[in-house]
Structure 1
Amino acid sequence: MTASTILAISGSIRTQSHNTQLLRAAQKFNPGVAEIEIYEGLRDIPPYDQDVDTPELRPAVVNELRRRVSEADGLLIATPEFNYSIPGVLKNALDWLSTDWSHTEGLPLNRKPTAILGAAFTNFGTVRAQLALRQMFVWTDNDVVTKPEVHVFRSHERFDAEGNLTDEVTIELLQGLLTSLQGKIDAAKARG
């Protein structure tokens, strides 16, 4: 099997986001052969506008995101929870990724192996946000990892002052999630 590429997207644009730190931990504790690249352009994605949602009219940053998602073997999405759901910036990016009005490009998210995780300061972590994200992926037909679920609750207790993940249970769950994602990627590659 050739090495896989996973594109990791944090649904938070905060500088010290625990969700972004969780993706860095995924790179550090990665148990497999997949290369994990963290996407850092979420802040630059403009609001979704169907009037310009064609390959020729889309903003360059959107076409670049679509290209990177299409080329990645899998996605790893870390979401915070805002108002019992996912942040608007993440939903907006996914809206740009879920269309092909020209019927010429294909859908970047279609059947894409995807793993979801999230961190929050609360006692419930990102349970509701992850559920909302899973519902979105029913429409886009992503191949979503179902287990293990990684809900990092009271996240401020699981990272040190430098932003390093220190909680052994969370590290183990994170590695299990990445292993499950690699399994879905391998199955997708075998199908061709």
Structure 2
Amino acid sequence: MSVRILALVGSLRAGSHNRQLAEAAVKLAPEGAEVELFEGLVDIPFYNEDIDVEGSVPAAAAKLRAAAQSADAFLLFTPEYNGTIPAVLKNAIDWLSRPYGAGAFGGKPVVVGGTAFGQYGGVWAQDEVRKSVGIAGGKVIEDVKISIPASLTRFAETHPVDDAEVAAQLSEIISRLHGHAGETVAA
């Protein structure tokens, strides 16, 4: 059985190291798993119940919800902006948390990771994302994490997929997420 994992990246910058981690995840997905990097978070308006009306949800938000509904699991990569979650990722989580009680996360497994310039690899932001996604209905896999410090120097000349240690860590977390998703799909 194939498992579909939707990757969301909390940075809009084309050269983002977190985006590069997501690209590496796409390439490193094991057999039986497909990691899809969602494109289009930049186009989604800030969540507002006044525009979240059945039949007139903004197209970009509807596209995100459709991709999330068809996913079996989620892999979220976040930088750390001022010690917390980037607005673009928080906004995606808000859209996916609705409609209340029937959001797209719906008990599906979620792994959160990322990289940041600081010495802890963005763990504050990652913890906040885990909290937010858990409240939004995702089944956060707490013991599956990847936090890579010193992103500016570590990835200055090397893409994460070409960093043997990072590639091994990514392969492991994708395999573990794949296993959790397979259990959820089979249940």
TM-score (norm 2): 0.93
Matched residue type, 2:54:
P
Residues 1:186 and 2:186 aligned together: no
* Alpha-carbon distance in structure 1 between the residues aligned to 2:162 and 2:14: 19
| 1:12-23 to 2 correspondences below 5 Å | 12-23=11-22
Structure 1, unaligned runs of 5 or more: none
Aligned to 2:131: 135
- Superposition deviation, residue 14 in structure 1: 0.5
- Superposition deviation, residue 95 in structure 1: 0.7
Moved more, 63-72 or 156-165: 156-165
Asked whether the 8 Å contact 1:10–1:78 carries over to 2, the reply is yes
- Superposition deviation, residue 124 in structure 1: 1.2
* Alpha-carbon distance in structure 2 between the residues aligned to 1:58 and 1:173: 38
Matched residue type, 1:51:
D
Aligned length: 187
Moved more, 8-17 or 135-144: 135-144
* Alpha-carbon distance in structure 2 between the residues aligned to 1:174 and 1:11: 17
RMSD, aligned α-carbons:
1.6
Q: Secondary structure at the match of 1:145?
A: strand
Aligned to 2:77: 78
Aligned to 1:54: 53
User: For each residue in 1:89-119, what CA deviation from the matched residue of structure 2 results, as whole angstroms up to 9, or x when unmatched?
Assistant: 1101111110115x7xx31012021111111
| 1:36-51 to 2 correspondences below 5 Å | 36-51=35-50
Matched residue type, 2:17:
H
Aligned to 1:170: 166
Asked whether the 8 Å contact 1:159–1:165 carries over to 2, the reply is no
